[in-house]
Structure formats: structure tokens, C-alpha cells
Structure 1
Amino acid sequence: MNLSRSFPIACALLLALVASNFARADVVETRSGARLIGTITKIDAGVITLKTDYAGDLSVKQSEVVGITTNAPLVVRLASGTTLEGRVTSEGGAMKIAGPDGELTTKVDKVAATWSPGGTDPQVAALQRHWTYEAAVDMTGKTGNTEQLGTQVSGRAVLKTPQDTLQFYTAYNRQVSEGVKSADQFKAGVDYANNFSGKRSWYMRDEGGFDRVKDVELYNVAAAGIGYDFVKQPKHIFTGRIGLSYRYEGYSNPLTANVSSAGLDLGIYHEYQFANSKLVNRLAFVPSFNDFSNFRLTHESYYELPILAPAGSHAWALRLGVSNDYNSKPGVDVEKLDTMYFTRLVLSWQ
């Protein structure tokens, strides 16, 4: 074999292969002169999402992009509302969309959104109601000098649009230590919030259940009021609530007086999305009008990490957190504060 002749041929084939791969890819050109190669999955809210083999999904600020070239047709909606489907090319700061319905020349900063042919405009998709679900379970056990078994299961269903959010949730916690129940608690609730004006919202919620270890046969908290989003960003939410409530707690022990009173409802919800994880904090404070020293305070904080890559619409995560339930005037021989630390396996789907 003549190596002097085969080597240039191999190099030429390699260069042709690389060139063909580039030709089949989309290109995003930035103001700094960078050329990012991949597949443009969408442009929405001033961000270009580029899927790459070398760095996963990249988010590029649209304001920093001067040119776009696509291998396959895209549906492009301009800021003026004009929509056209076709391949996109760029030259000299101008962007051209060429398709079966004609050609249109514009600039990158005039593009409001793009999506794949046959898909849905992101603006329309954001307004569509859709359910998301999650189920979580954690189990603890111990044998030897002491015997202990604990199980908690929970679920949540959320129907959300940019204007409102409806949530249903439930949880059951049972702990047995040395054959004696140390926890036997159930709750179920519904929460609805409507953003009627910018960062302002109104809400209604209702939660009920029992806690047999705390001697609570039945409890219920119904509340309604207003909310305000101190921070409202795609990856960061901080919302405060204030409203009126009705709280009922019925005890099996006749020595403990039942609670049946109107009161305040104060709450905080905080969520921060990191690159591949999130932090969530929830706090609710319900004092009674007839005795402000009689109140219930509930709190939950957790950090959630993905543990498996999403498979279709399903995703697995690990949730590490702590929850507190404080009753300022509990039943006879019952502690005021219950604190639980948990590690939960969470399945989410839609």
C-alpha cells in the first residue's frame, strides 16, 4: 500500500465527513464571533435553546446573537405577529426565512418565537392547561437492640397556567417504634391561586386530616386571602400571603378543649431553580382571633436532586428535607413541636 497516496485521501474523507456534519447542523453566530453548532429546538422569551452533542442544551441570549442558520425548516413568529415556515439563513446581519409560502427578510432581534413544524407556538402552549403529577415515598427501618419501621407516602397534582394554579395534595405518615405507634398522621388539601393583576393574586385553600398520636381526631383549616409575588422570575419565586381562616381541631380526650375559631392565615412560598436542582420552602401560620396565643405553624424545606435522566414525560429525583408542625396549645401530654427529617424518592410525570 502506498501510504503517501492513502494519507491525503483519508484526510480528504475526514474533512468531507466533518463538513457534511456541519452542513446538517444549525449554526448560531454571536456578537463575539463564536459559532455554536447544534440543533435549535426553540426561541422563546429572548432565549435561543441549542441542543448540542458536546455540551447538552445551551441557552443563548437572543440579544447576543447576530446570525442563525438552520438545516431544517422552522416556524418563525416575528414580534409584529407575522408567522412563516421555512429554512433560516443569515448574511451581513440580515436573516432570511425561505419557505413554500414565500421569503421574508428580517433581523434576529425581531424574532419573537420559533417552533418545529407541526408543533405549538410556545405562547399558546404556555396558556394551555396541563396537569403535572408527583408521587413520593420514603421508608426507614431498624432491627437489633430496638425495632423501628416508618413509612411516608405523598402525592400532588397541579394544574397550572400563567394566570392561575390549582393543586391537590395528600400525605400519610406512619411510624412504629418497639411495637408502639409514634406517628399516625394523614392530610389532604386543595389550593387555588389566581394572578388577577401582575404580581397580585387571590387564593383559597382547605386542608384536613387527623393525627392520632397527637390525639387529633379531625382537623381542618379553610382560608382565603390575597397574595403578592415579591420575586416572580422563571427560576425564582417568592410569594407572601395574608388572609382570613377558620380552624377546627377535634380531640378524642375530653380533657382537651376543641378548637373552633376564625383567625388569620399567613403564608410564604419560596422556590429557586438551580441548573440541575431546586430548593423549596413553605411556611404557614394560623393564629386564632379569640386567642392569638393559640396558633398552628407548619413548615417544610427541601432540596431536590435529579437521580435519573428524564424518560419521556417521567423523571426521578431525590428529595432531602425537614418539616415542622408546631401547635401552641396541643392536647394533654402531647409535645408542641414535631420535627421530621426525610429523604424521599420522587417520581414526577405529566
Structure 2
Amino acid sequence: MTRKLITIGCSVLLLAVASDGATLRLNDGSRIEGELEKIHEGTFYFRTSFAGVIEVPLEQVSGLDSADAVSVRTSSGEVFQGPVRTEGGELEVTSAAGTVRTGLDTVVSGWEAGGRDPIVATREAELAGQLRKWTYMAGVDLSGKDGNSENFASAIVAEAKLEGPSDRLTIYGSYKYKESDGIRSEDEQKGGINYTNFFSEKWGWYVREELERDTFEGIEFRTTTAAGLTHRFIKEERLTLEGNAGLIYRYESYQDTGAESDGSAGLDLGLNLMWQFADWGKLVSSLEYTPSFDDFGRYLLDHESGIDIPLGTSDKWTMRFGVSNQYNSEPSGGREELDTSYFARLILLWD
């Protein structure tokens, strides 16, 4: 007798447990067992054990029954919380204040207990997308170089970026140092600021300033000021391509006391590419061409391309393998026109 009572009690308990959750009833008479994840923008998101989360349009739903408490928001803005059942096209919510009935078609939002209102979550996400956000990058290079010299070098780069949906401020700096057989063959310091503002989806304007000192090239001081228009050719999550065209003024003073300081105006043309070609790899490339108005055969051409590979599962550490080229059509002191660097850069990203 005792064993029979225990068996009956266990059966009742199992039935009670099995009755937990929710049932979504459709217009064709079918029923789906599971749990309500949310109701948002006229769609029921229902979690099932056999197909994960499925999406069912509101017009195909005839009823929702849930023994667990859920929250619903009606078109009038009222929010009710508690177990629900549907009868005669009306949703009945049993809350702490009593039972409330509302038309199923008046429900504009719903979420499981302990969750967040999808409408509120969407608004907060949209607001966050309109806010500017600082991100930071620091990197260290080990590289080989041919051109004016053939050896290994080290470099430190850093960048701070403040970016929103319609503008971007970038502050950057770098220091490159190299020795060959104990003799210093490179000592370049560079820093700059670049601001871009988009007045439409594709078009914007930019202004930038850069300072540079390179004792190996004989440059005591070089300043570059540029402004112009920028254009987004492609803007996708995994692929972006931007170009800029403007005017530039460059001033140079030299370490050689016999050389006169020089300033000239010219064009400022550039391209910037980012391509996330795989989950494990991203291509980053930049190209800058600045010819002088006085003589278009006098120009600087800067290029850098690299492939970023994340280290482990962290999104903060990345290894970049790349190449950079700097071509000066009229170098000082009889130096070669082209400098090419190959580097492996360890990058730390944070915000």
C-alpha cells in the first residue's frame, strides 16, 4: 500500500513538473511546447527543446498559456506580470493585483521573468550606437628592412580613437629605432591627429596634422597639414573602404645647416581598407599619395598593409604580419628613394 502511494505521488509530481513552461497555440490548431523568450515587433520568439528559438508571427498565434510568470506590455503602455492563459482571443494575466484581460492583438512586447523589455533594450542599444566611444591600441614591432639599409629594427606604435556614427577622432604616434653593427641607422618619431566628420551616409570632410622628425633621413622637422573631402565607398560589418582627397601643406627643415627649409602645397590623396576575410584573419591596408603643386614629380608615397590574427580566444591581443613602404621621389643626402619594412607587430586593444 505504501509503495503504491509513493508511486502515485511520484507520478503526480512528474506531471506537475512537466506542466511547467508555456504552450503556444497556432491558428491551424497546432500546439508548441516550450518557453516564451520574448514578444517583439509582432513576432513571438519561442524557445523549444527540438528546434531552439523559433519565430512565429503574431497573426499566426491564437493563444499563449504559461504556468510560469511572464511580463507583457500592451499598446496603451501598461505592463502586467504573472502566469498567462488565452481564452476567446483574450490574454488573461494573473498578477499580484488580480486578474487582467486584454486582447492578444494589443500585446506589443513580452519577456520572460527576470528578462528585459525588448522595446527598452532596443532603445538603449540604439542610443548606445549614437554615442562616441574611445578605443585604444598599442603595438610593438620586430622587423627587417631593405632599402637604405638592411637589418632588423624595433618600433612602438600607439593610437587612441574616439568614434561615433557620424565622426571619428584619431590621435596616433610612433617611434622607430634601428641599429646596424652598433651604428644607428633609423631614429624616426612621428605623431599626429586626424578628425573626420560625415555630413551624409557616404560623404564627409576631414582635417589632419602630423609632426615628424627623422634624423637618419636628415629631417630635423617636418609638419604636414591637410584638409579635404572623404568618401565611404563601402561600409559593411566585415568590409570598409574609405578614400580622401584634399589639399596639403608640408614644411621641412633639415639637419644639414647648408640646406634651406622648404615648404610647399600639394594634393592629399589616400585610401583605407579593412577586410575581415575570415574569423581568424583581417586585412588592414592604407595608401597615401602627396604630390607637390610646384612639381608633380616631387611626391611622397606611403603604404602599409598587414594581416591581423587574433591570439587565442581573446579579442584584445592580435598579431599583425605586414609590410610598409615609403617612397620619396627626391630624398635628401643621396639616399635611396624607397624604404621597405617587413614587420611582425604584437598589438593590444582595449577600451
TM-score by length of 1: 0.68
Report which of the two structures shows the higher radius of gyration computed on alpha carbons.
Answer: 2
Do 1:225 and 1:243's aligned partners in 2 also have CA atoms closer than 8 Å?
yes
One-letter amino acid matched to 2:205: W
Deviations 1:173-198 (CA, angstroms, capped at 9, x unpaired): 11111011121111101111001012
User: Residue 280 in 1 paired to residue 284 in 2?
Assistant: yes
In structure 2, what residue type is equivalent to 1:327? Answer: N
Contact persistence 2:298–2:329 (CA under 8 A): yes
Whether 1:239 aligns to 2:247 is: no
Q: State the partner residue of 2:190.
A: 187
Shift of 1:320: 0.8
Selected match of 1:208 from 177, 194, 211: 211
Q: Is the 8 A contact 2:166 2:198 kept in 1?
A: yes
Instruction: Note if contact 2:247-2:265 (Cα within 8 Å) is conserved in structure 1.
Output: yes
Question: Structure 2 length as normaliser, TM-score?
Answer: 0.67
* Match of residue 312 from structure 2: 308
Identity rate, percent? 34
Q: What is the CA distance between 1:263 and its match in structure 2?
A: 0.8
- Summarize deviations over 1:104-138 as a string: whole Å, max 9, x none: 53599xxxx97698897111001111210010012
The alignment status of 1:265 with 2:268, answered yes or no, reads yes
Alpha-carbon distance in 2 for matches of 1:83, 1:326: 67
Give matches, 1:1-350, under 5 Å: 65-66=55-56, 105=107, 121-139=124-142, 150-254=153-257, 256-273=259-276, 274-310=278-314, 315-350=316-351
- Aligned partner of residue 346 in structure 2, secondary structure: strand
Per the alignment, do residues 86 and 206 of structure 1 end up closer, same or farther by CA in structure 2, a change over 3 Å counting? farther
Indicate the SS of the match to 1:197.
coil
Residue 309 (structure 1) shift = 2.5
Higher relative contact order (CA 8 A, sep 6+): 2
Query: CA contact under 8 A between 2:132 and 2:165: conserved in structure 1?
Result: no
Distance verdict in 2 for CA 1:127–1:117, change over 3 Å: closer
Q: How large is the RMSD of aligned CA atoms in angstroms? A: 4.8
Distance 1:255 1:328 in 2: 21
CA distance in structure 2 between the partners assigned to 1:85 and 1:343 by the alignment = 58
Q: In 2, Cα distance between the equivalents of 1:83 and 1:160?
A: 37
Provide structure 2 residue ranges, at least 5 long, that are not aligned to the other structure.
Answer: 1-10, 23-31, 59-63, 111-115, 145-149
Aligned length: 293
Checking the alignment, whether the CA contact within 8 Å between 1:324 and 1:338 is kept in structure 2 is: yes
